[in-house]
Amino acid sequence: MVDTPGAEASRPIDGLSFEEALQELEGIVRELEGGQGKLEKAVAQYERGAALRRHCETLLAEAEQKVQAIVDSAAGPTLRDAG
Amino acid sequence: MDTTPPVAGAPASGANVPEFSVSEISGAIRRTLEGAFGRVRVRGEITECKRYPSGHIYLSLKDESAKLESVVWKSAVPRLSVQPENGVEVIATGKLTTYADRSKYQLVIDRLEYAGEGALLARIEKLRVRLAAEGLFEAGRKRVLPGLPRVVGVVTSEAGAVIQDIRTTIARRFPRRILLWPVPVQGQGAAERIAAAIEGFGRLPHDGPIPRPDVLIVARGGGSLEDLMAFNEEIVVRAAASCPIPLISAVGHETDTTLIDFAADRRAPTPTAAAEMAVPARADLLAALDQTGARLRGAAMRQRRAAETTLLRLERRLPDIPARVLEYRRRLDEAGESLPDALRAFVRLKRDALAPLAVPHPRESIAARRHAVALLDGRRVAAFARCVQRLRGARALHAFSAAPVLALLRERRAMLAGASRQLEALSYNAVLARGFALVRDAEGEPLTRAAAVAPGARLSIGFADGQVVATAEGEAPRRAKAKKGTEQGTLL
């Protein structure tokens, strides 16, 4: 399959992993800072960037919650032999 | 013994020899034969053995040089301890009699026994070979005995030491329920009864009122080869081979071998040994259980230790997930914060790119020129004031001449007039004075093309001396195709 520019933008955000979404968001920021391309595309990219950020926030919040739970349980009591 | 036949008739003329009728002589022979021999035991090999539908058995006994025709009447057949078959050497007991119709004599047999161990063993071997050829003794047919049977079935004599030995052995090792099917273990009809008992146990239902045994013991004590013959009979061997319950044979002493031993799933040398095979010793089971338990605990401990070691190794290799999450958080915050700034930067860059291309409005141009003139005028007034100040302060006031100042003023006025003319030349007012008009839309933006005017649009038309408001009528003209390469590209 040949990659076409902007192909990743067509992928539904819900289906992206955290790493994929973050990578795409960083790419959008770099592209906007470069000032290349059309204004319409820039606005669309900004819009997708905002959605990607929300998606990343959700996933990261879940991960942070899980890690916290694991850390808390690890600090708690451990199982021992009753025998 | 007097064998002279009784005188039946007068001697024939010229002869001293008595004369008999056929019946008379036949009767005389019969009486002589039966009287002379009575009951006899005859040893010979059975040949021409035939069982008739009437139930009688006809056979011949032969040796190297003679043959004796014999018969077993139907009434005597069930009482025979040996079933007659060709090739078997037997001792037949009975009485000799004649068969007058055919001038024959025959032995009427009422008892049969094997003629010594050699004959018995030959017969047994012959049967063994035949049954082995059928596959009745194959190892693949043997079944495994149950580990701990609930019910043990026993086929043996009700009286005697055998059942007692089995009972005491099972009670000592691991008490189990014993079902006895009593049978005669030797003599007339024993084989049929033993076979029926084995088959009977096999036919018991699993959930019937009499529990079906999990293992069978077929046993009898020691004895002569002839005593054990019931366990060499084909009917018993076949019953043992086809029994659905695992079967242990324990017939005779350790040195005795019977054909049932070949068909059984296990052979025990004695009835006691059979009971030991059937039921495990409770103490042995408990010891084995303890040993297995100890092994299990040891294995579990070893496994646990191994698992703990593996877990520790894996724990050390685990990536620091909290640190990775924090790194992701930093990157996300950075990208998220940069996003709005990035768009603003994008727009700023576009605006900067647009600035050099912007065409200033004439008003802006005039205002700029006017501002420049005002600045110049300001500088002129200031310069004049400084000049006057200097002149005032000079000692040689009497030597003052106004000529240089006037010359400077003239020069500045000429410059101002030139700039004003230049401004007028740039202004569109001069163009309007020549008869042209400036058309603007409702927002005051200049319109340069007819195609930009929609029908009904409000227009403002500027002339040299003032403004007129108008409304556009008719269809908008079609835009003429621009020449290739002349159209200005988009800025964005």
Backbone angles phi, psi at B413, to 5 degrees: -65, -40
| Any A CB within 8 A of B301 CB | no
Chain A: closest CA distance from residue B320 (Å): 10
CB pairs under 8 A between A and B: 66
Helix axes A18-34, B321-354, angle to 10 degrees: 20
> Do β-strands B215-220 and B177-182 pair in parallel, antiparallel, or remain unpaired?
unpaired
> Do β-strands B466-471 and B215-220 pair in parallel, antiparallel, or remain unpaired?
unpaired
Cα angle B6, B12, B14 (rounded to 5 degrees) comes to 125
Q: Of B282, B265, B284, give the one whose Cα is nearest residue B274.
A: B265
Is B235 within the bounds of a domain? yes
Residues 59-78 of A with CB under 8 A from B: 60, 63-64, 67, 70-71
Res B302: pLDDT = 80
The answer to whether B61 and B70 are in contact (CB under 8 A) is: yes
Q: Residue B349 is nearest to which of A22, A35, A50, comparing CB atoms? A: A35
| Any A CB within 8 A of B444 CB | no
Q: Residue A60 is nearest to which of B329, B338, B343, comparing CB atoms? A: B329
Q: Residue A35 is nearest to which of B322, B329, B345, comparing CB atoms? A: B345
| Together in a domain, B191 and B272 | yes
Contacts with A5 (C-beta within 8 Å, 6 or more apart), sequence order = none
| Together in a domain, B88 and B155 | no
Please tell me the distance from the alpha carbon of residue B250 to that of residue B132, in angstroms, as a whole number. Answer: 20
The length of chain A in residues reads 83
DSSP element (H, E) containing A27: helix A18-34
- Interface contact B342-A56, CB threshold 8 A: no
| The three-state (H, E, C) secondary structure of chain B, written as one string | CCCCCCCCCCCCCCCCCCCCCHHHHHHHHHHHHHHHHCEEEEEEEEEEEEECCCCCEEEEEECCCCEEEEEECCCCHHHCCCCCCCCCEEEEEEEEEEEHHHCEEEEEEEEEEECHHHHHHHHHHHHHHHHHHCCCCCHHHCCCCCCCCCEEEEEECCCCHHHHHHHHHHHHHCCCEEEEEECCCCCCCHHHHHHHHHHHHHHCCCCCCCCCCCEEEEEECCCCCCCCHHHHCHHHHHHHHCCCCCEEEEECCCCCCCHHHHHCCEECCCHHHHHHHHCCCHHHHHHHHHHHHHHHHHHHHHHHHHHHHHHHHHHHHCCCHHHHHHHHHHHHHHHHHHHHHHHHHHHHHHHHHHHHHCCCCHHHHHHHHHHHHHHHHHHHHHHHHHHHHHHHHCCCHHHCCCHHHHHHHHHHHHHHHHHHHHHHHHCCHHHHHCCCCEEECCCCCECCCHHHCCCCCEEEEEECCEEEEEECCCCCCCCCCCCCCCCCCCCC
Tokens 């005597």, located at residue: B76
DSSP element (H, E) containing A65: helix A39-75
DSSP assignment, residue A10? Answer: G
Listing from the earlier edge strand, what are the strands of the sheet with B266-267?
B177-182, B151-156, B215-220, B247-251, B266-267
Is B236 within the bounds of a domain? yes
The length of chain B in residues reads 492
Please tell me the distance from the alpha carbon of residue B50 to that of residue B71, in angstroms, as a whole number. Answer: 10
- Interface contact A57-B332, CB threshold 8 A: yes
Please tell me the distance from the alpha carbon of residue B446 to that of residue B443, in angstroms, as a whole number. Answer: 9
**Domain boundary residue among B228, B260, B283?**
B283
| Together in a domain, B65 and B154 | no
The SS3 assignment for A35 reads: coil
Nearest CA in chain B to A83: B297
Backbone angles phi, psi at B77, to 5 degrees: -55, -50
B342 contacts in chain A (CB < 8 Å): 28-29, 32-33, 46
Is B95 within the bounds of a domain? yes
- Interface contact B350-A35, CB threshold 8 A: yes
Domain of B197, in residue numbers = 149-283
| Any A CB within 8 A of B307 CB | no
| Together in a domain, B107 and B209 | no
Per-residue pLDDT of chain B (492 residues; tens, 9 = 90+): 555 555 555 555 556 788 888 888 888 887 888 888 788 889 798 888 987 899 989 899 988 789 898 999 888 988 787 778 788 878 899 978 887 777 878 899 987 877 776 777 887 887 889 899 999 898 998 889 998 897 999 999 988 899 989 989 999 889 988 999 999 998 878 998 899 999 999 989 978 898 989 999 999 888 888 788 899 989 999 999 999 999 999 998 777 778 999 999 988 999 999 999 999 997 888 899 888 899 887 998 787 778 878 877 777 777 777 887 888 887 888 888 888 888 888 887 887 887 777 666 676 677 886 778 888 878 778 887 877 776 666 545 445 456 766 676 667 667 677 766 666 565 666 667 767 787 877 877 788 768 778 888 878 888 777 878 888 877 666 555 554 554 444 433
* Sequence spans of domains, chain A: 11-73
- According to DSSP, the residues that pair with B471 across neighbouring strands are B458
Instruction: Report how many domains make up chain B.
Output: 3
- Interface contact A29-B329, CB threshold 8 A: no
R_g (Cα) of chain B, nearest Å: 71
| Together in a domain, B157 and B261 | yes
Chain B: closest CA distance from residue A54 (Å): 9
**Domain boundary residue among B283, B306, B341?**
B283
Nearest CA in chain B to A40: B492
Is B297 within the bounds of a domain? no
Chain A: closest CA distance from residue B376 (Å): 42
The SS3 assignment for A28 reads: helix
Q: Residue A67 is nearest to which of B321, B343, B492, comparing CB atoms? A: B321
**Domain boundary residue among B249, B265, B283?**
B283
Q: Residue B322 is nearest to which of A32, A50, A67, comparing CB atoms? A: A67
CATH number for the domain including B89?
2.40.50.140
The segments of chain A whose pLDDT lies below 70 read: 1-10, 74-83
Is B172 within the bounds of a domain? yes
| Together in a domain, B161 and B103 | no
Q: Residue B325 is nearest to which of A25, A29, A60, comparing CB atoms? A: A60
Res A1: pLDDT = 41
Res A38: pLDDT = 81
CATH number for the domain including B217?
3.40.50.10550
CA dist list (Å): B52 to B79, B234, B413: 17, 21, 171
Chain A: closest CA distance from residue B303 (Å): 14
A60 contacts in chain B (CB < 8 Å): 325, 328-329, 332
| Together in a domain, B103 and B190 | no
Backbone angles phi, psi at B107, to 5 degrees: -100, 120
Is B16 within the bounds of a domain? no
- According to DSSP, the residues that pair with B94 across neighbouring strands are B40, B109
A53 contacts in chain B (CB < 8 Å): 332, 335-336, 339
Chain A: closest CA distance from residue B477 (Å): 31
Is B292 within the bounds of a domain? no
Q: How many CB atoms lie within 10 A of CB B205?
A: 9
Res A82: pLDDT = 47
CATH of domain A11-73: 1.10.287
Please tell me the distance from the alpha carbon of residue B115 to that of residue B54, in angstroms, as a whole number. Answer: 28
Is B416 within the bounds of a domain? no
- The tokens for B2 are 């007097």
A35 contacts in chain B (CB < 8 Å): 345-346, 349-350
Please tell me the distance from the alpha carbon of residue B166 to that of residue B279, in angstroms, as a whole number. Answer: 10
Q: Residue B338 is nearest to which of A22, A29, A35, comparing CB atoms? A: A29
Q: How many CB atoms lie within 10 A of CB B122?
A: 14
- Interface contact A18-B321, CB threshold 8 A: no
